């Protein structure tokens, strides 16, 4: 089986801060991907840059902030981007195809199946899929917000062997190196911690969106799905292959020891929570470290209008996210039994289907560990 490599290229690597596509850059990256094909790999490209490539042509002075302007810029820029890639790949006799996806496609099993089928066929026919978010229709909760997340979900969907997130920085630093000159680069990360996340800032360039933070979040999605991740920079010919082989200028993230089953991947990274539960210290500990279920006694506050079977997000006493789970009660009912012992719950409710508010099998912990660098 061919080694499948998902490569994500950020706007900062493809466009200039003033806007407009850097065709030389698209040629460079296409050549690098073509070299992966020649070396026997099966690359999939996730590319940003539509908004950044298109806004100048419309006449906007800078990257637009208003949604409809962004959509218009993306519509213009996506065509330019695709045209540039097609031409650049053709120089290497490599065929490419445009695939536009939204978050809703990953929420629905059927649409995910459709996307997967189409992508598999393209790969079988040796066509490189060039994937971007479908900016015209993806708004608000439909939006990934950044292509880093999209690339991690694509890597999981296609069971890729590696995910490479390319950017203008040679990896993850302890702090944003643009702000803190003393920041130290991390060449290998076994586990993404709260401290790393705190040190990861927003977008560094005028054209990027997610910054290092969204790259870390994407790295977590992929590594928990069993896919090792590289976040870094390539500048010279041959460096993409070097990065795939483990010697690139960047940070390598190892896969986590326990790979998540698909259902938990969905719960953690694709589902849309319809409510929030705030729990006390004991419940937080039981959920995150004890591998136990959430009982009514640990619930302090209930927010949202959810029903039994919906996904809710759970917050600890310091209001930090602990994780997500499928809730066994309607919001109203849960509100009447929060804080009660199991014996009192039974007295309060006529028919108790399940005592647990969230069963441990329907729970995923999303808390970052606090260990130091």
Ligand X SMILES: Nc1ncnc2c1ncn2[C@@H]1O[C@H](COP(=O)(O)OP(=O)(O)O)[C@@H](O)[C@H]1O
Ligand Y SMILES: N[C@@H](CCC(=O)OP(=O)(O)O)C(=O)O
Distance between CA atoms of residues 295 and 120, nearest Å: 43
Nearer to ligand Y by C-beta: 205 or 265?
A: 205
200 binds, among ligand Y, ligand X, none (CB under 5 to 8 A by kind): ligand X
Check the annotation: does 215 bind a ligand. Answer: yes
- Give the integer Cα–Cα distance in Å for 313 and 326: 9
**Residue from 48, 96, 223, 271 binding ligand Y (CB under 6 A):** 48
Tokens of 21: 């596509």
- d(CA 193, CA 90) in angstroms, rounded, equals 42
Query: Tokens in use for 36?
Result: 């992966």
CB of 363 to ligand X, least distance (A): 30
Q: Which of 21, 74, 172, 244 binds ligand Y (CB under 6 A)?
A: 74
Selected binder of ligand Y within 26, 71, 209, 223 (CB under 6 A) = 209
- The Cα–Cα gap between 28 and 304 comes to 49
Binding partner selected for residue 173 from ligand Y, ligand X, none, CB under the kind-specific 5 to 8 Å limit: ligand X
CB 299 to ligand X: min, Å: 36
Question: Which of residues 73 and 284 has its CB atom nearest to ligand Y in the complex?
Answer: 73
Contacts to ligand X by CB under 6 A: 10-13, 167-169, 172-173, 175-178, 199-201, 203-205, 208-212
Q: Which two tokens stand for residue 15?
A: 């466009």
Q: Provide the minimum distance between the beta carbon of 328 and ligand Y in the complex, in angstroms, as a whole number.
A: 37
Q: What is the DSSP-derived secondary structure letter of residue 368?
A: P
| Lateral strand order in the sheet of 249-253 | 95-101, 127-133, 41-47, 3-9, 162-166, 229-233, 249-253, 188-189
What token pair was written down for 64?
């637009």
Nearest to 153 by CA among 6, 302, 353: 6
Is 336 labelled a binding residue?
A: no
Among 146, 170, 217, 356, binds ligand Y (CB under 6 A): 146
DSSP 142: G
Q: Tell which one of 133, 161, 310, 362 touches ligand Y (CB under 6 A).
A: 133
CA atoms of 214 and 143, how far apart (whole Å): 14
Our finding on whether 105 is near ligand Y (CB under 6 A) is: no
**Residues at the site binding ligand Y, with contacts judged by CB under 6 A:** 10-12, 48-52, 74, 132-133, 135, 146-147, 208-210
């Amino acid at each position: 089986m061919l080694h499948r490599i998902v490569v994500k290229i950020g706007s900062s690597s493809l466009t200039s801060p003033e806007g407009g596509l850097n065709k030389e850059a698209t040629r460079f990256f296409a050549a690098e991907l073509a070299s992966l094909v020649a070396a026997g790999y099966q690359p999939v490209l996730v590319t940003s840059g539509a908004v950044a490539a298109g806004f100048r042509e419309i006449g906007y002075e800078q990257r637009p902030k208003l949604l409809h302007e962004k959509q218009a810029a993306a519509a213009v820029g996506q065509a330019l981007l695709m045209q540039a890639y097609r031409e650049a790949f053709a120089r290497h006799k490599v065929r490419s195809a445009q695939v536009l996806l939204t978050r809703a496609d990953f929420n629905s099993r059927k649409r995910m199946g459709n996307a997967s089928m189409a992508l598999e066929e393209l790969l079988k026919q040796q066509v490189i899929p060039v994937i971007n978010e479908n900016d015209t229709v993806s708004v608000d909760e439909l939006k990934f917000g950044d292509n880093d997340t999209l690339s991690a979900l694509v890597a999981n969907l296609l069971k890729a062997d590696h995910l490479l997130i390319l950017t203008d920085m040679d990896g993850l630093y302890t702090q944003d190196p643009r702000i803190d000159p003393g920041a130290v680069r991390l060449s290998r990360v076994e586990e993404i911690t709260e401290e790393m996340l705190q040190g990861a800032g927003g977008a560094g360039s005028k054209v990027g969106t997610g910054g290092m933070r969204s790259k870390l979040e994407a790295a977590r999605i992929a590594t928990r799905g069993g896919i090792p991740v590289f976040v870094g920079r390539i500048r010279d010919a041959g460096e993409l292959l070097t990065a795939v082989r483990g010697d690139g200028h960047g940070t390598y993230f190892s896969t986590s020891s326990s790979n998540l089953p698909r259902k938990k991947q969905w719960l953690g990274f694709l589902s849309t929570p319809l409510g929030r539960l705030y729990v006390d210290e004991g419940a937080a500990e039981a959920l995150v470290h004890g591998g136990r279920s959430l009982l009514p006694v640990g619930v302090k506050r209930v927010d949202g209008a959810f029903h039994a079977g919906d996904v809710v997000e759970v917050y600890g006493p310091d209001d930090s996210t602990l994780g997500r789970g499928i809730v066994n009660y309607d919001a109203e009912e849960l509100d009447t039994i929060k804080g009660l012992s199991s014996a009192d719950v039974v007295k309060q409710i006529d028919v108790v289907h399940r005592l647990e508010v969230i069963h441990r099998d329907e729970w995923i912990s999303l808390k970052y560990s606090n260990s130091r660098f």
